[in-house]
Amino acid sequence: MQKITLSNGVEIPQIGFGTWQIPSGIVTRESVGFALRAGYRHIDTAAAYYNEQSVGEAIAESGIDRSEIFLTTKLHNEEHGYDLTRAAFEKSLKAISVDYIDLYLIHWPNPIAHRHHWQEANAGSWRAMEEFYRAGLVKSIGVSNFAERHIEELMKSAVIAPMVNQIRLFAGERQEALVSYCRRMGMVLEAYSPLGTGNLLKNETIAAVAKAHGLSAAQISLRYLIERGFVVLPKSIREATIAENLRIFDFSLTAEEMEMLDRMENSVSATHNPDETTF
């Protein structure tokens, strides 16, 4: 497993198992169990996914030592601000049944519940997260779906800079200006929806590259992001697919293939403006 080192020296496995849209209960437990048995050691969940408890149960059932698993969860949109964040974090720890989180993220920069005072709310949440970090309750802290303007506002009061920004990235959706900005800030980029919520599996350009390598469209899509230096978070509930998505470290794409994928247009949908969503 390849790893990327965060700005504080913590290592994060470059592929993680995403659990967005996986129902809580047996489906999440089985899927996370499949992933852990296949060799994943990075699991990504969130309070808003409503499956934290099932993720925790799968980790416990796996018998794998907690120290071997990199676990991410995220702050719920309705719980921004210092006091709400402290309570929300304790709720997540209890739900997952762990003593610490490897990476804790503010899930959304400007949710509807706090839109009238998002700057103040984010500052309060970040202050609480810095306290968790100093206490050893989280190993690293970051943000998700933050644009440059949100990060700059956060940095007006932050003591510790975000180590990660988890954003929507896939072939055709490069968010180049934001990626460059985050890298200048020393942040690692995590790619959620790396398969374009499944749409890239039918893309003709990716299919041609996949045929040349004798691999799946998913493997090509994930390898493209790996070679761009991102952490990738594919999701599946099928055991064979979960295992296949992990087999992306024993081949490389040619410079010509990378250029072809770089030139792809976004054929899925535009990324939401975080300031205009209704959640």
> Dihedral angle at the C-alpha atoms of 21, 25, 26, 31, nearest 10 degrees?
40
Cβ-based neighbours of 155, under 8 Å, separated by 6 or more: 161
Residues 217 and 207: beta-carbon distance below 8 Å: yes
**What is the DSSP annotation of 112-177?**
GGGGGGHHHHHHHHHHHHHHHHHHTSBS-EEEES--HHHHHHHTTT-SS--SEEEEE-BTTB--HH
Give, as one character, the DSSP assignment of residue 122.
H
Asked if 171 contacts 264 with a C-beta cutoff of 8 angstroms, the reply is yes
| 108 HSE (CA, 13 A, CB side) | 21
Write down the catalytic residue from 49, 104, 133, 192: 49
Distance CA 211, CA 252 (A): 14
Helix (H, G, I), strand (E, B) or coil at 198: coil
Q: Tell me if 37 sits within 8 A of 169, measured CB to CB.
A: no
Q: Is 49 labeled as catalytic in the residue annotation?
A: yes
Q: Which positions are annotated as active-site residues? A: 49
